Chain A
Amino acid sequence: MAVATETPFHVLAVDDSLPDRKLIERLLKTSSFQVTTVDSGSKALEFLGIHGEDSSPPVSVHEDQLEVAVNLIITDYCMPGMTGYDLLKKIKQESTSLRDIPVVIMSSENIPSRINRCLEEGADEFFLKPVRLSDMSKLKPHILKSRCKEHYQQEQHQQSDSSSNECSNTTNSSSSSENSNSRKRKAEDNEEVLPQTNRSRHS
């Protein structure tokens, strides 16, 4: 049996149906995920710190606040107002690394054109409802894949960054200071690499 040595992954679950929200929450918790549930796409965007029209770069300096990284988003397709597909598009339009958070779409309807459209827009997985416990095991690989990619990108940026004019006067390289180089923070070994730009506002 694996010993948990690191913080559990955090999943944001979006579904307008209350029984479904309860179920997905339980499925995720049983699979050792930390869970936040919201009942709409707009609340999901709020949680992620994505603002209405403009997707502004991560400039928050809330280091003292509890920062909650989101490692995966799982959303229902059919929701009033903003569908899961609309939410997916908004996330993928982000200029920050929020767009790299893996997104899973759930739907009770098996419509191939719908599934394809979501996958083409960047969804990592499509679950047919009702979701079962066995579906949960498909989530972690997507999280790990996206974090490997992020780690790699961070290192690439670091190398090209040494001569960049963008470097502001960082007082202490080991502090997690939120500046324009926040995405290029050096990753520590064996430590949970929580991408800074994936932080959501804690309110």
Chain B
Amino acid sequence: MAAAALREQLNALLASMFASGLVDEQFQQLQMLQDDGSTPGFVAEVVTLFCDDADRIISELAALLEQPVVDFDKVDAYVHQLKGSSASIGAQKVKFTCMQFRQLCQDKNRDGCIMALAVVRNEFYDLRNKFQTMLQLEQQIQAQQ
């Protein structure tokens, strides 16, 4: 596929990610830092690190919430971590869900937390898919040049 068409696809994807609130202007900061020229793989690197981190945290949360007695302090600590890293890369939806999740932790609401985890997981998977598509398109465009 021609580079121009790929570019169009990529731009459309990014536009929809911003429009749907999946990412916010912090993600633009990342793009800006990459467009600075000296680090072409920066966004890919940070996004990948975030995804690995988030994946790990979500697994830990699932394990903690399965316990007969839930350690809400630990759960809260992990959600706080996820909230932090999602904010840093501009993953807005995930961040907002984490904020609600933390409130549920503080209320020691087990069912609420389990539901929040399910929401966070879905939102994260959706975001990860879009990131993967984005990176693939970028690679294809690069290959054309």
Contact = CB atoms under 8 A, between A and B. Distances in A.
Contact of B88 (A17, A29, A30, A133): A17
Contacts of A17: 53, 81, 84-85, 88
A157 interface: no
B49 interface: yes
Interface residues of B, number: 23
Contacts of A18: 49, 53
Nearest to B90: A130
Nearest to B42: A26
A129 B30 CA distance: 14
B33 A20 contact: no
Given A18-B53, A19-B50, A108-B83, A27 B45 contact: no
Given A19-B89, A133-B33, 16 more contacts: A17-B53, A17-B81, A17-B85, A17-B88, A19-B46, A22-B46, A22-B49, A23-B89, A26-B33, A26-B46, A30-B33, A108-B87, A130-B26, A130-B90, A132-B26, A132-B29
A23 B84 contact: no
A130 B46 contact: no
Interface string A60-86: 000000000000000000100000000
B56 to A, nearest CB: 10
Interface of A: 17-20, 22-23, 26-27, 29-30, 78, 108, 129-133
A133 B32 contact: yes
B53 A27 contact: no
Interface string B1-44: 00000000000000000000000001001101100101100100
A22 B47 CA distance: 10
A28 to B, nearest CB: 11
B80 interface: yes
A17 B54 CA distance: 11
A26 B89 CA distance: 12
Contacts of A26: 33, 39, 42, 46
A78 B29 CA distance: 23
A23 B30 contact: yes
A132 B87 CA distance: 11
Contacts of B29: 130, 132-133
Contacts of A27: 33
Contacts of B46: 19, 22-23, 26
A78 B26 contact: no
5 contacts: A22-B49, A23-B30, A30-B33, A130-B87, A131-B88
Given A22-B45, A23-B46, A26-B42, A129 B84 contact: yes
